[in-house]
């Protein structure tokens, strides 16, 4: 992993956990609280680790760079007087309304936009917003646990300040459909999403032939992975697609979304990654930021619903890598953190930051097997988009 020569930050304050759809909803803010507690106890965040930057709250003008004014007004009304408004995706099972919804969602946007500002201004080389990554929100409606699309708003802020090439890589188990839609016809933004196939999983989109609008063919890249894909297959697909495209595109900033719901224990999807495989992806993206974007890297959170078993460990690894101090996978979780989990949640916390796996993979250049679903999916993506970037799609 390249040495980090610049400062790194995490944008966070505890009130960001007010983005809360209620105790029965899968996307509990507990996962963020447990992550920050674990990262702080391990020294990843705090003295000697990542510097914490307070999170501002985005104003309506900032939200309106991506979202329709009518949608913003609907969220404001829902937050002031909680009532369903399904025309805007509010009050559904995925997106229940709650008091203060507009403020809480705007705070998440503000945190992520501040991470983008940190990196674009040069105050930070890397900056993370783990509460962010709400990649399903559409300009005109909420979707998939996501009210406002903080990532798209952050990318828009870069373009508005003169950025000419921004790359977005989404490793959440679900297709990054909202971000892709916002920049569908904008050749300045390359969106790459690796996800479980929409044949099996929400939102049902993101196939190899989805490659961008008429003015931006090849700007959208989708790798639709078969259910059951584990570390080796996932990393094989990642390295077959992402590095060649980023090297050709050469973004000024690399933006990444790190939903860790690709894990085998996640209750909402069907991939089979381990924390060790996810950590390998984070390291690869960090290295690519240094290789292609001068180290300028904005990292956000995303999905992840194994609240104790997976998310805190995965995102602690992410924050360690963002801070230039990766945590050894064999590290034990601190006793105080395990006691907190046991006392307040009445469950047993993981003992180490590893799942005990070696995330090895077979390089695509060694040839592909058309008899396997995974290799057919990767090959289809390469055939669709590589020629549009002047790249040879064959191994």
Q: Which of 67, 102, 136, 290 is catalytic?
A: 136
Give, in order, the Cα–Cα distances in Å from 117 to each of 10, 147, 178, 205, 216.
Answer: 12, 22, 21, 31, 26
For the question of residue 107 being annotated catalytic, the response is: no
- Name the residue with tokens 């609240």: 307
Q: Which of 61, 64, 60 is nearest to 79 (CA)?
A: 60
Contact 298, 321 (CB under 8 A): no
- Report, as residue numbers or ranges, the catalytic residues: 136
């Amino acid at each position: 992993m390249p040495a980090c020569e610049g400062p790194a930050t995490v944008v966070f304050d505890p009130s960001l956990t007010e983005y809360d759809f209620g105790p029965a909803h899968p996307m509990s803010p507990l996962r963020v609280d447990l992550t920050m507690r674990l990262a702080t106890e391990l020294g990843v965040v705090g003295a000697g680790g990542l510097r914490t930057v307070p999170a501002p709250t985005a104003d309506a003008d900032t939200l309106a760079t991506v979202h329709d004014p009518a949608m913003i007004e609907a969220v404001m009304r829902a937050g002031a007087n909680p009532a369903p408004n399904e025309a805007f995706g509010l009050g559904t099972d995925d997106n229940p309304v709650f008091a203060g919804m507009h403020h809480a969602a705007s705070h998440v946007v503000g945190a992520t936009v501040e991470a983008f500002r940190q990196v674009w201004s040069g105050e930070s080389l890397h900056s993370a917003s783990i509460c962010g990554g709400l990649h399903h929100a559409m300009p005109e409606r909420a979707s998939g646990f996501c009210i406002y699309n903080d990532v798209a708003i952050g990318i828009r802020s870069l373009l508005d300040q003169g950025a000419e090439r921004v790359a977005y890589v989404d490793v959440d188990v679900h297709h990054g459909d909202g971000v892709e839609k916002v920049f569908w016809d904008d050749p300045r933004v390359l969106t790459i999403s690796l996800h479980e196939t929409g044949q099996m999983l929400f939102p049902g989109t993101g196939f190899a032939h989805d490659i961008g609008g008429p003015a931006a063919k090849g700007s959208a890249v989708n790798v639709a992975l078969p259910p059951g894909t584990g570390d080796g297959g996932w990393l094989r697909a990642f390295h077959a697609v992402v590095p060649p495209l980023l090297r050709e595109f050469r973004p000024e900033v690399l933006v990444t979304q790190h939903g860790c719901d690709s894990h085998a224990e996640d209750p909402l999807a069907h991939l089979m990654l381990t924390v060790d495989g996810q950590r390998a992806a984070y390291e690869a993206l960090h290295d690519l930021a240094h290789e292609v974007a001068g180290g300028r890297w904005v990292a956000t959170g995303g999905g992840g619903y194994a609240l104790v078993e997976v998310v805190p460990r995965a995102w602690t690894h992410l924050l360690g890598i963002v801070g230039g101090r990766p945590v050894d996978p064999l590290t034990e979780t601190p006793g105080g953190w395990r006691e907190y989990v046991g006392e307040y949640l009445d469950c047993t916390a993981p003992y180490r930051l590893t799942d005990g796996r070696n995330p090895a993979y077979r390089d695509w250049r060694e040839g592909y097997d058309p008899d396997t679903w995974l290799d057919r999916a990767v090959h289809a993506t390469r055939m669709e988009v590589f020629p549009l970037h002047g790249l040879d799609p064959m191994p």
